[in-house]
Structure 1
Amino acid sequence: MTITEVTTQPTDAERFRHILEVQRAAYLRDGAPSWAARRSDLHNLKAALIARRSAIEEAINTDFGHRSRHETAMMELVGVVQGIDYLERNLRRFMRPTRRHTALHMRFGTNRIEYQPLGVVGVISPWNYPVNLSLMPVVTAIAAGNRVMLKPSKLTPATNAVLASMLSEVFPPEQVTIVSGDGSAFSSLPFDHLVFTGSTEVGRAVMKAASENLVPVTLELGGKSPTIIAKGHVRDQTVSDIVFGKLLSGGQTCIAPDYALVHESEIDAFVDSYDRLVKAAYPDGPTSNDYTSISNDKQYAILTDLIDDARTHGARIIEVGHRPGEAARRPHTLAPTVVLGVTDDMRIAHEEIFGPILPIFSYRDIDDAINYVNTRPRPLALYYFGNDDPDQRKVLDRTTSGNVTINGTIMHVAQDDLPFGGVGASGMGKYHGIEGFRTLSHPKGILAQGRWNATRLLYAPFGKRTDALLNFFLR
């Protein structure tokens, strides 16, 4: 009789938990890495990233169908390299304990904050910037002394393969590991912190799963980021900046200008200028090497459905730029499009667009524009074009968004010393800058008590002296 041995493959949940246990055991065994070790890790990762520039550009192009190599270098690689440089320069300062005020009755002691690694950080990254939005949370976690499990999107398999090869070369698996599999199982792990970048809908599910283990989360979501153009500022530089921000990576950027608020007297001038400057940016039209296609058929269908719904409800759809009809010659490519006459019964008025479609809304005065923004969920970014005057101050004071760029688009995310993150429906928590380091650290408060302090006079047995001291503290 032959006995056949049956082997059962571990589930994603079992596999993930085993990796987490290995990383946590390594952290507890080795403790917090030194400044020199963290700096060396960052330096080695930067070198490996630069060495794979061509491979990354090719992989992302494969995953998207077509993605400009210049956009990949600019928005994926430069962002991470400069982020690493920033952390290397400032890491010693970030790690340094900070003194805190000591209460009067304990002046012979000292208070300080020491920033301690949390332990193991989970990172869930999206498909739209599969290198930058994977690696920036990873490098921030490493700078803070943590170990990392990274789960990138299944929609970018070629890029994930390059990342897996690179990370396994630079780090042992008990320090940094990239995994694939069930996102729900990953979100349910008892991490010391979880960073998620993606849609608001999925972010809710991630937060709910994490809450079962009381795992703190940083959620980088999205939403409809408005662009307010002050009356008189429909100028070539203004519109060129909007073309850049809206059409970068085919509009598939979480902080892309989602819609434009233009004074009612300047709508036609804006559309004419937008068309002309799209033509200047992409002289070969939507099949240009510089113009990025929509990353997959599903996302393309979502965008075309938004256009069809708007058209059905009476919106005016205008394809702009050179030869927009040629977009059909390249798989899941959508020509730059503006939408006029948008009303609240259209999906495009409420859903994040994530593509090269720009709805244009009119306003009568700046209060009208502000009220429009404020009746919608708080966005990840807000853009304002205008003078440094009371209207600009009013927009900054009366609207709430993740971050703001004035007289430009997108580039606040490239400022390494600014925190990045949303508010309300667009997210919670920050990374980038010192805020990112502190998000992924535990600020441990330490009191070094002096040989003498007044509180010892409050020890039992109580009496008149106790009453006198309590009266002094409660005066």
Structure 2
Amino acid sequence: MSHDATATSSDASALPPSSPLDAFETDTPSSSGEGEKTRMQRLLVDQRATFAIAPMPSAEVRRGWLAGLRDALKSHEAALITAISADFGHRSAHETRLAEMVPTFEGIRHARRHLKGWMKPSIRHVSAAFQPASARVVYQPLGVVGIIVPWNYPLYLALGPLITALSAGNRVMIKMSEFTPATAEALRVMLAEAFDEMQVAVVTGEADVAAAFSALPFDHLLFTGSTAVGKHVMRAAADNLTPVTLELGGKSPVIMSRALMADEAQRREAASRLAFGKGMNAGQTCVAPDYVLCAEDQVADLVQALGASFQRFYPCFADTLDYSRIINQRQYDRLSEVLSDALAKGATVTPLVEGPSWNDPVLVEKRLMPPLALLNVTDEMQVMQDEIFGPLLPIVGLPAAADELAAAMAYVNVRPRPLALYYFGHDKAGQQRVMEGTHAGGMCLNDTLLHVAQDDMPFGGIGPSGMGHYHGHEGFLTLSKAKGVFAKGRLNGAKLMYPPYAEGVAGRAIHGLIRRLLMR
């Protein structure tokens, strides 16, 4: 997802075709882009003016906003599920409920329950030199927050940040992906039922609109997408000194411990959890397992266990209604090129479900790409260089070593820091080593994906996989201004430090005391 801060519709075709999460990429300019740019500029001005009238909404007002969002989501559930499926060509209603509806409702519930505590000023220490006085930190709304939404989870990645922004008392503008037009319209209708546009507004449009949106002088900008475009978003925001939260991606690794793999029951269970994480939304998930590190003499056992799990999930793959389509032809072609590149450079492919081959015309027409294990992969292959964002799963066999876990960690640590890291192994010592010895935005032990759904944990990347957090309390802090307030009473002990300094016996005594007590 790459765009230049000054990009217009005329240069959108220059965007890299390998970018998987592109809210900016497009092959054709928007016919209504100029009108939408004018509209969003007016919206920002109007939202700022409305915010200035009530810059510190009470907890009850904010809880009311969240309750209104919850009620609107309930009444529009069917319409949103239908719209998302239409944008994908098909996505299971059950998967949309699990991956988008459930975490949104949970996020609303968590925020409403904890909001008063989050808003409560925190009392801070005042040192003896400045007594008598008090200090506290108050949490103020920032103003107007911009949210740029990708196409892969268009509901949750719009409403999750919205919940955080509303909890912090802000006004919000949401830019939806041009690749999910049906969802964008359904969400616009839903939000219009719950909010006036001066509170929450939806913006649509092609790449030129997205580029212009990122250049608006928001009080905070939250972007979900690729690392490449994240750099351009940050560059555009820098012109306005707009702070950014970037939820990017990268190649999230899975490390399989030898002890777990050696136990058949544990191996089957781990493979089931791994297959669920990779199969969700056909792998089009920012924290999807991107590649697996496994002892090379256990690779065959892992492939067999993964195949059994995927086959159990999708027993009649060509006709399944439980597996998502690839979002559009551009993304399908990108994945096909990545796979072809790997095969041409010596990789071997093992289907993980029974049925037609991945390039069967029936599946190609449906944009239905089955989960595929790729073996004998090398760093020269695109599949090991770029975030996959699809159902391809490279498995890297590590040579036998005295300390195989150290070898796996070294493999991960020489690569860009990922958004997620997954370790399968029940040994506490191994878990501790991986937690302390690797860096990632988040981590699961003996599972995948589910750390994202924990409302009371921060979620965000590190380095190339992002910056900042927007879940739970940490998200509230991100979208609030923590303002320190120092308060003096009628008495002023500090005047003893006023000039003229060290004059007379009393002055010398006071400054001598300061040196002895405060300069230690």
Same fold (TM over 0.5): yes
Is contact 2:146-2:222 (8 Å) kept? yes
Cα-to-partner distance string for 1:295-339 (whole Å, 9 max, x where unaligned): 111111111111000000000011221214376424211011010
Cα-to-partner distance string for 1:46-79 (whole Å, 9 max, x where unaligned): 1110111111111011000011111100111001
Structure 2 counterpart SS, 1:267: helix
2:391 equivalent to 1:352: no
Match of 2:50 among 10, 23, 26: 26
Equivalences for 1:38-117 in 2 at 5 Å? 38-117=62-141
Deviation, 1:345, is 0.8
2:211 equivalent to 1:187: no
Cα gap change, 1:351/1:286 in structure 2, threshold over 3 Å: closer, same or farther? farther
2:446 corresponds in structure 1 to: 407
Deviation, 1:100, is 0.7
2:276 equivalent to 1:244: yes
2:11 corresponds in structure 1 to: none
The one-letter code matched in structure 2 to 1:358 is L
Deviation, 1:12, is 4.1
1:4 corresponds in structure 2 to: none
1:447 corresponds in structure 2 to: 486
Alignment TM-score, normalising by the size of structure 2: 0.88
Quote the Cα distance in structure 2 between the aligned partners of 1:162 and 1:366.
47
Structure 2 counterpart SS, 1:178: strand
Is contact 1:188-1:209 (8 Å) kept? yes
Is contact 1:125-1:133 (8 Å) kept? yes
Match of 1:309 among 337, 341, 346: 341
Is contact 1:114-1:443 (8 Å) kept? yes
2:416 equivalent to 1:392: no
2:228 equivalent to 1:206: no
Relative to structure 2, which stretch is displaced further, 375-384 or 361-370? 361-370
Quote the Cα distance in structure 2 between the aligned partners of 1:262 and 1:397.
20
Deviation, 1:362, is 1.3
Equivalences for 1:283-294 in 2 at 5 Å? 283-294=315-326
Query: Aligned-pair RMSD on alpha carbons?
Result: 1.5
Deviation, 1:285, is 1.1
The one-letter code matched in structure 1 to 2:391 is P
Structure 2 counterpart SS, 1:233: helix
Quote the Cα distance in structure 1 between the aligned partners of 2:141 and 2:495.
33
The one-letter code matched in structure 1 to 2:335 is L
Quote the Cα distance in structure 2 between the aligned partners of 1:274 and 1:353.
18
Cα gap change, 1:102/1:53 in structure 2, threshold over 3 Å: closer, same or farther? same
Cα-to-partner distance string for 1:235-273 (whole Å, 9 max, x where unaligned): 110000000000101000100100111112201111111
Structure 1 counterpart SS, 2:98: helix
1:298 corresponds in structure 2 to: 330
Match of 1:280 among 312, 328, 341: 312
Quote the Cα distance in structure 2 between the aligned partners of 1:180 and 1:441.
26
2:495 equivalent to 1:468: no
Quote the Cα distance in structure 1 between the aligned partners of 2:331 and 2:376.
24
The one-letter code matched in structure 2 to 1:192 is D
Quote the Cα distance in structure 2 between the aligned partners of 1:324 and 1:453.
83
Cα-to-partner distance string for 1:416-470 (whole Å, 9 max, x where unaligned): 0000000000000001110000000000111111333432212222234263354
Quote the Cα distance in structure 2 between the aligned partners of 1:400 and 1:448.
41
Is contact 2:132-2:493 (8 Å) kept? no
Structure 2 counterpart SS, 1:83: helix
Quote the Cα distance in structure 2 between the aligned partners of 1:136 and 1:437.
12
1:164 corresponds in structure 2 to: 188
Cα gap change, 1:393/1:121 in structure 2, threshold over 3 Å: closer, same or farther? same
Quote the Cα distance in structure 1 between the aligned partners of 2:284 and 2:33.
37
Quote the Cα distance in structure 1 between the aligned partners of 2:318 and 2:352.
10
2:247 corresponds in structure 1 to: 220
Quote the Cα distance in structure 1 between the aligned partners of 2:319 and 2:177.
26
1:334 corresponds in structure 2 to: 369
Runs of 4+ in 1 over 6 A off after TM superposition: none
Deviation, 1:105, is 1.9
Identity of aligned residues (%): 45
Alignment TM-score, normalising by the size of structure 1: 0.96
Structure 2 counterpart SS, 1:66: coil
Structure 2 counterpart SS, 1:218: strand
Quote the Cα distance in structure 2 between the aligned partners of 1:128 and 1:260.
22
Deviation, 1:11, is 4.8
Cα gap change, 1:73/1:445 in structure 2, threshold over 3 Å: closer, same or farther? same
Quote the Cα distance in structure 1 between the aligned partners of 2:48 and 2:195.
15
1:269 corresponds in structure 2 to: 301
